[in-house]
Amino acid sequence: MLKRIMIVALALTFVFGAQIAIAGLLEDIQARGELIAGVKDAVVPFGFVDEATNDIVGFDIDICRYIADKLGVELRLEPVTSATRIPMLEQGSVDILAATMTHKFERDEQIDFSITYFMDGQKLLVAADSGITSVADLAGQKVGTSKGSTSEQNIAEAQPDCIVVSFEGYPEAFLALKQGKVVAVTTDSTILLGLKNSDENPENWAIVGEFISDEPYGLGVPENESDFRDFVNLCLAEMWKSGDYMTIYNKWFGEDTAYYLPLEWEMEIWP
Q: Are residues 244 and 193 in the same domain?
A: no
CB 190, CB 48: distance < 8 Å: no
Q: Are residues 248 and 136 in the same domain?
A: no
Q: Are residues 101 and 222 in the same domain?
A: yes
Q: Are residues 100 and 66 in the same domain?
A: yes
β-pair partners for 77: 37
- Whether 266 is covered by a domain: the verdict is no
User: What pLDDT shows up at residue 23?
Assistant: 62
- Whether 241 is covered by a domain: the verdict is yes
User: What pLDDT shows up at residue 13?
Assistant: 44
In angstroms, the CA 64 to CA 236 distance is: 10
Q: Are residues 44 and 102 in the same domain?
A: yes
CB 190, CB 253: distance < 8 Å: yes
Q: Are residues 113 and 222 in the same domain?
A: yes
- Whether 132 is covered by a domain: the verdict is yes
- Whether 263 is covered by a domain: the verdict is no
In angstroms, the CA 247 to CA 164 distance is: 37
Q: Are residues 130 and 161 in the same domain?
A: yes
CB 97, CB 47: distance < 8 Å: no
- Domain assignment of residue 232, given as a range: 25-119+215-253
Residues of 82-93 as b/e, b for ≥16 C-beta within 10 angstroms? bebbbebbeeee
Q: How far is CA 122 from CA 37, 43, 186, 209, 224, in A?
A: 25, 15, 7, 9, 30
User: What pLDDT shows up at residue 8?
Assistant: 39
In angstroms, the CA 147 to CA 125 distance is: 17
CB 175, CB 205: distance < 8 Å: no
263: helix, strand or coil: coil
User: What pLDDT shows up at residue 90?
Assistant: 97
CATH number at residue 247: 3.40.190.10
CB 208, CB 134: distance < 8 Å: yes
Q: Are residues 237 and 226 in the same domain?
A: yes
User: What pLDDT shows up at residue 271?
Assistant: 82
Q: Are residues 78 and 160 in the same domain?
A: no
Q: Are residues 85 and 201 in the same domain?
A: no
Handedness of CA 261, 262, 264, 269 (dihedral sign): positive
- Whether 188 is covered by a domain: the verdict is yes
Tell me the pLDDT of the chain (271 aa) as tens digits.
Answer: 444 444 434 444 443 343 334 469 999 999 999 999 999 999 999 999 999 999 999 999 999 999 999 999 999 999 999 999 999 999 999 999 999 999 989 899 999 999 999 999 999 999 999 999 999 999 999 999 999 888 999 999 999 999 999 999 999 999 999 999 999 999 999 999 999 999 999 999 999 999 999 999 999 999 999 999 999 999 999 999 999 999 999 999 999 999 998 998 999 998 8
* Total number of domains in the chain: 2
- Whether 12 is covered by a domain: the verdict is no
In the DSSP assignment, the letter for residue 210 is S
